[in-house]
Structure 1
Amino acid sequence: MKIALFSDLHYPAVDERIPGLLEARAGFYEEFIGQFLQVDADLHVSLGDLTNYGMPHELRNIFSLIGDRRDFIHVLGNHDNYTLPKEELLALTGQKRYHSFETEEAVFAFLDTSRELDFERWGGWMEDEQLEWFEHIIQHSEEKPLLVFAHHPVFNTTTGSDRDNGSIHPDIDMRSLLSQKKGIGMFFNGHMHCDSIVKEDNWTFVQTAACLDQPSFRLIDIQDEAIIVAAIDLESDEFRKNAAIIYDNINHFTHRPDACGTDMHRNCAVSLIPSSPVL
C-alpha cells in the first residue's frame, strides 16, 4: 500500500493588482497538484494548512484543482480554521474532522489538532472526546502498524515542536497515549515548515516542510518487511520562481529557507520484522 502526502500548501487569496502574482499562483499550484496526483498511490493526504486563511474561495479553488481524480484526505490545520467554523468548513470540503480505518497492512488514524477561529493561539489542541477515541484506536490496533496523520507535532519530538505554539499543547499528555501502542507507530505531521524525522521508542515522527519553501511531497510505501518513507522533490526554476513571488506577496506566511533537511530528516525505513530494530 502506498500513501502520498504533503503539508502546508497554503493556497492563498492574492492581491490581483500585484504584477505576476495571479499567474504565479496558478502556475505553482496547478503544477504542484498535478504532479502530486499523478503519483500512483492508494491514498493522497494533506497534513493541514491546505489554505492560507481558510477563506471559502481559497477552499473552493484548491479543491477544484484536486477534483475527484484520487482518494484524497485533508486533516485540518490552524490556517484552515481562521475564517469558517469547523462545521461550515467541513460541509464545504466534504471532509471529516477525525476518523480512522483499517486494512490488512495497517491501521490509519487522522486527527483534528486545530483550534477553531483562534487567531492568537496557532498551536494544537484536542478535546477529551477525540482523545478518548484516539486511545481506543491505539489500544485496538494491537500489534498491527499504526499510522497517524495530524497537522501539529507531538511536543518536543520533531524540529520546532518544543517552541511556543509549535505542537499539540504540552498539557495534553500525548506520550501517555502513544505509549499504549504495542507495535510499530508512525506519526506524520506538518506545521513547523521544515523536514524532520525523529525516533522515540517504538514511534517514528515524520515532519514535512511547507510546499512553498520546499516543493516536495512524501511517498509512504508499506511493504511486507518495512515501511519506507521517501521525499520526492519537484525541482525546476519555474517552481522556485513562482513560489518566491507568492511567499513574498502574501500575508500569514514567512519563508523558511532552511526547510529542507539532510537525507536523515527526509527519508527513513521502519522495519516490520519482529524483534528487528527500527532503521
Structure 2
Amino acid sequence: MNKIDSIDITPYKVTGKINLAKRDTLEDLGTSDKDLKKSLEKIRENLGEFQNTLYAHGKYAVLICIQGMDTSGKDSLIREIFKDFNARGTVVHSFKVPTELELKHDYIWRHYIALPAKGKFGVFNRTHYENVLVTRVHPEYILSENIPGVHSVDDIDQNFWNKRFEQINDFERQISENGTIIFKFFLHLSKEEQRQRLLRRLHLREKHWKFSPADLKERKLWNKYLQCYEEAINNTSPAHAPWYIIPADNKKASRVIVTSILLEELKKYKDIKEPELDDKIKANLEDYIDQLEKEKE
C-alpha cells in the first residue's frame, strides 16, 4: 500500500462558516504524481463496483454537483473519476446559458428534470448554484427570467438572494428525503493557477478551442465571484447536502480527494446491497444449473 490509500476527508467538508481566502488551494497529499495516479485507479475501481450495487439495489440515486472557477478542472475531473463506471448507470449534464424554453420555467426546473433516476449516478457540471453565482455577479441576467415584481436590477436586493438560498435548500431537502444522495464539490483554484492554465490554452494549439476572450473579462471579477461562492456555500451546506471544498491547483490530488470522499461517504449506506433472489428461484437453482449443463451434451 502507498501512503495515500486512506486519507482524512473531514477537513474538506463544510460544517460551519468558512472563509475561502483562508482555505488552501494546493494539496499534493504528500506524495508523487505516480502514487496519486495509482491511488485514483484503486479508489475509482471500488467506486465503480459500488455503482453496480447501487444500480441493482435501485432505491437510491446519487447526485454529484461540481462547481468552480473557469479552468478549475471540472471536465477532466469528471472524465478521470468515472472511467470505471458502467455508462448505463451514469448521466452527466453540463448546464449552459438557459434556453428560451428553460427561461419559461422557474430556474430550478431544468435541473429537476435532469436528476438521476434511482439506481444511477448523475453529475451536474455547473449546477443550480449558477443561479446565485453568475446571476449575482451579473444581476441583469435575472431580468430574462421574467419574475413578477422584478422590473430592474434595483429590485434585486439581499432579500432576493436569501430567498434563493432557501429555495435551493428546499429543493435539495426534498430530493434527499426521497432517496437522492447529494454531494457538492467546489474546486478551489488560486488566481495564479488560473492564469497559468489560461496561458497554456493560448500557447497550445490543441487547446485553443477552450479559450474565449470572455474568460479574461470574468477573471477581472475574481474577487466578486469568490465572495458569492463563499456566501452561497455558507448558506447551503446542511448535513444531508454538504459542500466539500477541494484544493484544485493540483488536479491529480483533487481527483483522489473527490473520489475518496464519494467512496467513504457512500460506504456508510449499509442498506445498499445487491438484492437477494426470491425463495422460489433459490430453491430451484440446482435445477436451472442442471438444465444449462445438459445443453453441452
Give the TM-score, by structure 1 length: 0.31
- The structure richer in strand per residue is 1
Q: Report the structure, 1 or 2, having the larger helix content.
A: 2
Query: Which of 1 and 2 has higher RCO (CA within 8 Å, sep 6+)?
Result: 2
TM-score (norm 2): 0.30
